[in-house]
Amino acid sequence: MAEIRIGGLQRLSTCDWPGQLVATLFLQGCPWDCPYCHNPHLIPPEAETGVDWAEVMAFLMTRRGLLDGVVFSGGEPTLQRGLPQAMQAVRALGFRVGLHTGGPYPARLAAVLPLCDWVGFDVKAPFSDYRRVTGAAGSGVKARESLLLLLGSGVDYQVRTTVDPELIDDAALARMSAELAQLGVAAHVLQTCRTAGTRRNRPVHVADRGAGRNRA
């Protein structure tokens, strides 16, 4: 049985993996603390309440042939050391595997990329400005290393950025776009920041999340 901490389960999503019908697992814990995160309750490593892995597997057994895949989201999924085992279990049921990540753990990302069919990679800002967004020293270096690993893996991906005007202005956005183009990023999506449900407003539950939501 995979040893992962699950903060929530969305049993059907049409927006967590473009073009796919998926179930989304929201894994607990994140080393970064982005102000616009729509899942602030997932940042602490321990959840007050959670979903048991056995419950997830039992649910997925009933959705074989009905869902295209399973997305591991968060929080930050690569924080979980049991992520490779969980992905392998999902693949064994016949599901494709998607991953949402910001790339704080390059080595752990490298270990699970062979198990992924698609990755949604969150770029926060120009890499030199990351600490202002994440609150973590060296986070830009790690994110850039992880992005290079993804680009070299051949795994399908989408790079996306939540544009928070309090954290990234037009000049920074242009600088970031130039950096990504230089690295060879072909798919970069800009997301409008919504403050509802963030720490700037009120907490939000997983079930409240919808299309266009911010990623941490």
pLDDT of residue 1: 61
pLDDT of residue 207: 33
pLDDT at 203 over 60: no
Quickly count: other Cβ atoms within 10 Å of residue 184's Cβ: 10
Domains of the chain: 6-206 (3.20.20.70)
Q: What percent of the chain has a predicted confidence (pLDDT) above 70?
A: 87
77 vs 36: which has the higher pLDDT: 77
pLDDT of residue 186: 86
What is the rounded CA–CA span in Å between residue 170 and residue 184? 21
- Sorting pLDDT into bands at 50, 70 and 90, what band is 100? very high
| DSSP calls for 40-99 | GGGSSSS-SS-B-HHHHHHHHHTTTTT-SEEEEESS-GGG-TTHHHHHHHHHHTT-EEEE
What is the H or E stretch that residue 134 is in? helix 130-134
Buried-exposed string 89-98: b where 16+ CB fall within 10 A, e elsewhere:
bbbeeebbbb
Q: Give the strands of the sheet with 6-13, arranged side by side.
A: 6-13, 22-27, 69-73, 96-101, 118-122, 156-163, 188-192
Decide: 38 and 203 in contact? Cβ < 8 Å. no
Q: What is the pLDDT of residues 111-152, one digit of tens each?
A: 999 999 999 999 999 999 999 999 999 999 999 999 999 999
| DSSP calls for 138-172 | THHHHHHHHHHHHHHHT-EEEEEEEE-TTT--HHH
- Sorting pLDDT into bands at 50, 70 and 90, what band is 194? low
What is the H or E stretch that residue 178 is in? helix 170-183
* Mean pLDDT in residue range 67-95: 97
pLDDT at 205 over 50: no
Query: Using CA of residue 48, residue 49, residue 50, residue 54, what is the dihedral sign?
Result: positive
